[in-house]
Amino acid sequence: MKLNISKFVWFDGKFTTLEKATVPITTHAIHYGTSIFEGIRAYWNSENLNIFRLEDHIKRFRRSGQFYSIALNYSDGQIFDAMINLCKKNNMKRSCYIRPFYFVGNYGINLHVNYMAPTHVAAFMFPFGDLFDKNGITAGISSWRKFSDASTPALAKMGGNYLNSILATQECKRAGYDEAILLDMNSNVSEAPGENIFAVKGEVLVTPPLGSSALEGITRESVMEIAEDFGYDVKEETITRGQIYLADEIFLTGTAAEITPITSIDGKPIGAGRPGKITKKIMAAYTDIVMGKNDSYSMWLTPVY
């Protein structure tokens, strides 16, 4: 995927150009995956650019590093202001994706990472539309399992964690599917490589619990609240492989994917083989919210201009 990355980036507290934001080959994160990142969406509605759930993303941003004792040497307020000013600096007036991250710098080959290790923080952005076809995608269940807390914290949004996602994605693409689904170590549904998953049965929405190695997704949480406000029953419950095939509807949630329907898994149609009515209802509500058309959720939006 070719990205039209913004001219200006934020690097260690200052704005610079993309070409000047460089790091040495001895950077610890390059060798050991000691990086933390967030994906944040901002939406242009012809009047303003609104960043979606910025404060929540920043809270998770800091929390992820705490699992590994990696310091984020800027306050939440400084990160908050930096994301807004990055949009302004680039005069961004299109819907876009913002990628803040921090990482361990020159630290030799020392694996004893602690809060004294040198870290850097940066952010860039780019215009962004749909990641997947909103009319529905195909998925295949990967033979690779989602790692568990027995090996590494599944709640940490770490760069190194996504090697697992890369393997699952490669496998599903070779098989001709649009996206993968990972099972946890107990053979229950966990999530997709970069998204949470919801199954709809009747009027009930079910999503795997965090104990199934699912990320505590911000879009996941948003959808749970939206669905409950519509009066649907929303449950965090274990989903077996067999149960996922029998769902009436399935959709993915994530910052990049937003809400994406799955129309088949392993070649088996889900429901009628097209986006279901509940999925479409939540998709429409989500779009209205991020575009600033629903005042009931205005607290989720941070205006840039």
For the annotated catalytic residues, the residue numbers are 157
| DSSP three-state, residue 249 | strand
* Cα 75 to Cα 102: distance, rounded to the nearest angstrom: 13
E-strand stretches of 105-213: 119-127, 137-145, 179-183, 189-191, 196-201, 204-207
Q: Name the residue with tokens 């393997």.
A: 167
Largest CA distance in the chain: 55
d(CA 135, CA 155): 30
> Which DSSP category does 270 fall into?
P
Contact 38, 101 (CB under 8 A): yes
3-state secondary structure (DSSP) of residue 141: strand
Angle at 295 between CA 290 and CA 299, to 5 degrees: 70
Question: What CA–CA distances, in Å, run from 97 to 5, 43, 83, 159?
Answer: 10, 9, 11, 17
Query: If you ran DSSP here, which 8-state letter would residue 91 be given?
Result: T
3-state secondary structure of 138: strand
